[in-house]
Chains A and B, each alone.
Chain A
Amino acid sequence: MAFFDAFWDIFTSDSTYLNGALFAGLLLFAASGEWIAERAGTINISVEGMLLAGAFTGALGFDITGSIALAMVAGMAGGVIVAGVQAEMSHRLAADQFVVGLTLNILVLGLAGFLDRVIEPKAASARVWEIPVLADLPLVGQALFGQRWPFYLLYLLVPLSWWLLFRTRWGLEVRASGEDPQSADVSGVDVNRRRRQAIYYTGATSGLGGAFLVFVQIGDFNESVVSGRGFIAIAAVIFGGWTLRGTVAGCVLFAGALSFRLSIQGLGYQLNSELLQALPFLVTIFAMAIFARRVRPPLALARPFVRGLK
């Protein structure tokens, strides 16, 4: 049957895995930071804006310096700037975190569109580093070990996020802030400060993610490069039940849906293109509908902390 043939072709095609790894990589940059922000008690929807800001400043950094390494740093800085507005407004001024996040996403979209047309930064693709032997593994070899070099940052970043949250005092205080800010406060934890720092961390990882998007996945910048991937990263954290393992699984699953779309077209199969466009979002919604009840969110998630207030 043609239908199963198509599936077989997709699952045996290297490009499925390569694209999947790229999409998962982007999601993981954003989600490994977002995970920490949420464990600290913030649903940080400006992660979308952080990705876009990182992509733009990354491209800008490359345009100016010509170095991809420096451009990655510039991308990180772009994410951190957005994080700064989000963090200071929602956890110093007590503005609603969703409202700030949403406004930031729209503002960054406007700014990126405006500046892109005014400056028109030129971007490029980073060099490919093949890891010997591993890159020759069947199917996943190229996807995991034959990538452009910024991809390998993930192998550091994801364990780093885990280590920060579970093995450092900072992480302990972040978790306490997300579960019970009142008790954490009484114990001597500066709750809002930890929450702000968690957002800054998200800004840094997402900014890198934005630059990754430009220098690894696309090789160019335009204002629609992100188009909702940040939201999928948030969904991955929720899907993963606020565990890192689950979050990674969520990223891989949703990336699979994104990659499926490219592969099926690339292999010449005809499938409704609108359905394919909507597929990652539909998969995300279905996944949340099935799993959202089974997981325990941080108890103070999305609740602002003002000392003396519940």
Chain B
Amino acid sequence: MTTTSTTAGAVEVPAVELRGITKRYGRVVACDDVDLTLHRGRVHGILGENGAGKSTLMKIMIGLVLADSGSIDIDGRPVTIHDPQAAAALGIGMVHQHFSLVDPLTVWENVALGEAGVLRPAVVRERIAEIGEHYGLSIDPDARVGDLTAGLRQRVEIIKCLRRNPSIVIFDEPTSVLTPDESAQLFESFRDVVAAEGRAVVLVSHKLDEVMVATDDVTIMRQGRIVDRLDTRSTDVATLARGMVGREVSLRSERAALGLGDVSGASRDDRGRAPLPDRAPVLELRLVNAQDSRRNPVLTGLSVSVAPGEIVGVAGVEGNGQRALGDLLSSLVQISSGEVLVDGRPVSTRRPGAMAAAGVAVIPEDRHDSGVVLDMTVAENLVMVRPEDVATHGLISPDRLERRASELIERFGIQCSGPDAPLWTLSGGNQQRVVLARELSNSPKVLVAAQPTRGLDVGAIEYMTEQLRMVAAQGVGVLLISSELEEILDLSDRIIVMSRGAIVGEMTRAELDSDRLGLMMGGSAA
């Protein structure tokens, strides 16, 4: 086995060389003396948990963040990168994790956005056609981006990056919105981009299997430092996992979070849980139809039921109605037909708060959207759904509010300067704990957890999954909506697959078949 440096040859100048990059935010060190070398013609994986510093490092490379110290050489020449335009001029392009696309604009307008010089639509359209032909990424340049599917949007994002013909391409967690098929196709085009054209490609990821499949070299980051540099072919998943977490990985939830679960029903432990008796469902959606504000259907004939104590996983590629399902159960979307029953009783979707009042707790996909009020205090956020609990005759008692809050802060280990701290002063993980604490403290009948571990570090993920298991064990029906297949496979008793606002398939833990699941996620009924 050869190592990176010998493969590239001693005489070849590396495409990028980062030396001693350090970035501090207050006392937190996001990148600590990081060295990184990228070579032309190779795919370099950067692996690390959320919070390991890989995003910060990439932001430094594309000029969104300035490093405190360290140097960057491109093709052997020292450079400074102050802003994204400078990065683009140096031939660095990034395909963003969260889309950088503006929905109401057309494809060509999005592709042209952020460049300099005179706007020439004809030239942009031509280039889009060229790139489309060359990489098999064909697309209508005059389509509105908002009307495209997630896969096509990813395509636009890649074209937007490749349009400038970058010599260094960074893919930041590119697969979260893709079906397994689309991911595979994406990695294919990686290869084309790299090998044939001598570009240096970086794949930033926290998914081990992805890194194993798509990369030539791997750099593992942990807590802002580089802990290991490996040749992908000479390593294995276990080594990568150990490097990433810093110890042997044993817990199932952790393995799931890292993409380590082996997707087959037989080998999964059943955690000693007895088969579920046929109990009346605690949550039932019957043939639910709903539209968004522009009258596009978002839920089409959706039927779901969750029994007490059951964890039902909703799998599917993002953007297939999962958000609408979460919003529906948060009283934020009205149905146009169908019925929602909680504990056998129909619940109105027109009345604000009806779901919460009926006992539906929600950990929303985006907590800033409907989960918390950033400008109110921790204590207020903790009683938000039922402020009456700390009030007499409509008058809130500061004492009871404080006591209630302190109790929850302690029970759920929320780190904050006190109950009166504004919520925005808390870290993301602690804001998420505030949501969890509030929702669980109202003794719910149903818990809807939408992407509950997104953006959390491994410790927090473990905590969250344990909480979900515990809640289910207490007889609450749990609806887990997630685009992380491993998370669903790990936690669910039953899995349903959503595509285009409808359920396209269902399987129990015993029937689990990963190929079928993949097909269903792609929208083909199987």
Which residue numbers of A lie inside 8 Å of B, CB to CB?
167-169, 172-173, 175-176, 179-180, 183-184, 186-189, 299, 310
Which of A167, A168, A172, A299 contacts B113, CB < 8 Å? A172
Are A176 and B115 closer than 8 Å at their CB atoms?
Answer: no
Are B96 and A169 closer than 8 Å at their CB atoms?
Answer: no
Q: Which residues of B contact A175 (CB under 8 A)?
A: 102, 104-105, 109
Q: How far is the CA of A183 from the CA of B119 in the complex (A)?
A: 19
**Given contacts A186-B96, A188-B85, are A179 and B113 in contact (CB under 8 A)?**
no
B239 lies within 8 A of chain A by Cβ: no
Which of B88, B100, B110, B118 contacts A169, CB < 8 Å? B118
Q: Which residues of B contact A173 (CB under 8 A)?
A: 113
Which of A167, A168, A186, A299 contacts B100, CB < 8 Å? A186
Contacts between the two chains (Cβ within 8 Å), count = 61
**Given contacts A168-B119, A186-B96, A188-B85, are A176 and B113 in contact (CB under 8 A)?**
yes
**Given contacts A168-B119, A169-B118, A169-B119, are A189 and B103 in contact (CB under 8 A)?**
no
Q: Which residues of A contact B96 (CB under 8 A)?
A: 186
What is the predominant secondary structure among interface residues of chain A facing chain B?
helix
Q: In this complex, what residue of B is CB-closest to A180?
A: B102
Are B104 and A184 closer than 8 Å at their CB atoms?
Answer: no
Q: Which residues of A contact B104 (CB under 8 A)?
A: 175, 179-180, 299
Q: Which residues of B contact A180 (CB under 8 A)?
A: 101-104
B112 lies within 8 A of chain A by Cβ: yes
Q: Which residues of A contact B112 (CB under 8 A)?
A: 169, 172
Are A310 and B368 closer than 8 Å at their CB atoms?
Answer: yes
Offer 27 A-B interface pairs, CB within 8 angstroms, sorted by A. Answer: A167-B119, A169-B115, A172-B109, A172-B113, A172-B119, A173-B113, A175-B104, A175-B109, A176-B102, A176-B105, A179-B103, A179-B104, A180-B102, A180-B104, A183-B100, A183-B102, A184-B114, A186-B96, A186-B100, A187-B84, A187-B100, A187-B102, A187-B160, A188-B83, A188-B115, A189-B114, A310-B369
Give the distance to chain A from B457, nearest Cβ to Cβ, in Å.
19
Q: Chain B 82-116, CB within 8 Å of chain A: the 1/0 string? A: 01110010000000101111111100011011111
Q: How far is the CA of A205 from the CA of B118 in the complex (A)?
A: 24
Q: Which residues of A contact B83 (CB under 8 A)?
A: 188
Are B113 and A184 closer than 8 Å at their CB atoms?
Answer: yes
Give the distance to chain A from B61, nearest Cβ to Cβ, in Å.
14
Are B117 and A169 closer than 8 Å at their CB atoms?
Answer: yes
Which of B84, B117, B368, B369 contacts A188, CB < 8 Å? B84
Give the distance to chain A from B423, nearest Cβ to Cβ, in Å.
13
Give the distance to chain B from A230, nearest Cβ to Cβ, in Å.
27
Give the distance to chain B from A112, nearest Cβ to Cβ, in Å.
37
Are B119 and A187 closer than 8 Å at their CB atoms?
Answer: no
Give the distance to chain A from B174, nearest Cβ to Cβ, in Å.
15
Q: In this complex, what residue of A is CB-closest to B160?
A: A187
Q: Which residues of A contact B113 (CB under 8 A)?
A: 172-173, 176, 184, 187-189
Give the distance to chain A from B504, nearest Cβ to Cβ, in Å.
30
List the 9 closest pairs (A to B, CB-CB), nearest first. A188-B114, A187-B114, A188-B84, A186-B100, A169-B119, A180-B102, A176-B102, A187-B113, A187-B100
Give the distance to chain A from B320, nearest Cβ to Cβ, in Å.
21
Q: In this complex, what residue of A is CB-closest to B115?
A: A169
Give the distance to chain B from A181, nearest Cβ to Cβ, in Å.
9
Given contacts A169-B118, A179-B103, A184-B113, 15 further A-B contacts (CB under 8 A): A172-B105, A175-B102, A175-B105, A176-B109, A180-B103, A183-B99, A184-B114, A186-B64, A186-B100, A187-B110, A187-B113, A188-B88, A188-B113, A188-B115, A299-B104
Are A179 and B115 closer than 8 Å at their CB atoms?
Answer: no
Give the distance to chain B from A178, nearest Cβ to Cβ, in Å.
9
Q: Which residues of A contact B100 (CB under 8 A)?
A: 183, 186-187
Give the distance to chain B from A45, nearest Cβ to Cβ, in Å.
24
Q: Chain B 150-173, CB within 8 Å of chain A: the 1/0 string? A: 000000000010000000000000
Q: Which residues of A contact B85 (CB under 8 A)?
A: 188
Q: In this complex, what residue of A is CB-closest to B64?
A: A186
Q: How far is the CA of A179 from the CA of B85 in the complex (A)?
A: 21
Q: In this complex, what residue of A is CB-closest to B97?
A: A186
Give the distance to chain B from A64, nearest Cβ to Cβ, in Å.
39
Give the distance to chain A from B30, nearest Cβ to Cβ, in Å.
14
Q: Which residues of A contact B102 (CB under 8 A)?
A: 175-176, 179-180, 183-184, 187
Give the distance to chain A from B454, nearest Cβ to Cβ, in Å.
16
Give the distance to chain B from A136, nearest Cβ to Cβ, in Å.
41
Give the distance to chain A from B297, nearest Cβ to Cβ, in Å.
19
Q: Which residues of A contact B98 (CB under 8 A)?
A: 186
